[in-house]
């Protein structure tokens, strides 16, 4: 394997691990750049899964810290500038319900389609990391969240690698 290929796979690994890039962006780019689609899919899945599992492992601690912080600041928050419109989920106190576009979208998908639907759509809609944290913050067991999200991630990773490889072949870009 050439040094350029190793650097390419390293970029796929890091890119898939970044919550805002995800596999939906890096798999097609990796395949289009001439890397092996099977290796790209495996490396992208591993990169995304590693940070996803890490985020879920830290989620419980982060939520406990956020709740304690919010309880300490409750009287000050009512008068603090810039806090208008920032609310936390009444059931979980999750900071993810603070109004970000991605987390609100994930909440709507969860309300409409439930855990399986959000897990299936997450890799190409709101991102696996946001979806996993919203689901875990909603009180669903992190292990259950991981199983569903990783299943959806696996399906989308394989599909994206296949579609990208087909597109590269159809366009005659394969070198």
Indicate the domain borders of the chain.
3-77+88-170
Which pair of structure tokens corresponds to residue 106?
A: 């994930």
Residue 65's pLDDT is 85
Write out pLDDT tens, residues 91-149: 444 444 456 787 788 888 888 888 898 889 888 888 999 889 888 888 888 999 999 99
Residue 102's pLDDT is 76
Residue 79 burial by Cβ neighbours in a 10 Å radius (0-12, 13-18, 19+): exposed
Q: Which residue has the higher pLDDT, 14 or 91?
A: 14
Can you give the length of the chain in residues?
175
- Given a contact cutoff of 8 angstroms between Cβ atoms, the answer to whether 118 and 110 are in contact is yes
Residue 137's pLDDT is 83
Residue 106's pLDDT is 80
pLDDT band at 6 (very low <50, low <70, confident <90, very high): very high
Write out pLDDT tens, residues 29-88: 999 999 999 999 999 999 999 999 999 998 878 778 878 888 888 765 555 555 444 444
Residue 76's pLDDT is 58
Residue 98's pLDDT is 55
Which pair of structure tokens corresponds to residue 21?
A: 């890039």
């Amino acid at each position: 394997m050439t040094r350029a290929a190793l650097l390419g796979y390293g970029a796929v690994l890091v890119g898939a691990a970044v919550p805002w890039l995800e596999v939906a962006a890096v798999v097609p780019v990796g395949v289009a750049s001439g890397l092996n689609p099977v290796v790209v899919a495996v490396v992208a899945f591993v990169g995304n899964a590693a940070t996803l599992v890490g985020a879920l492992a830290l989620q419980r601690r982060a939520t406990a810290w956020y709740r304690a912080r919010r309880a300490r600041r409750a009287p000050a928050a009512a008068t603090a500038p810039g806090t208008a419109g920032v609310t936390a989920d009444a059931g979980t106190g999750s900071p993810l319900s603070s109004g970000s576009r991605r987390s609100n979208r994930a909440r709507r998908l969860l309300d409409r389609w439930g855990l399986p639907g959000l897990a299936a759509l997450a890799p190409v809609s709101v991102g696996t990391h946001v979806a996993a944290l919203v689901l875990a913050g909603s009180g669903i067991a992190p292990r259950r969240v991981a199983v569903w999200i990783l299943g959806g991630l696996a399906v989308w990773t394989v599909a994206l690698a296949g579609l990208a490889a087909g597109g590269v072949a159809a366009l005659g870009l394969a070198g």
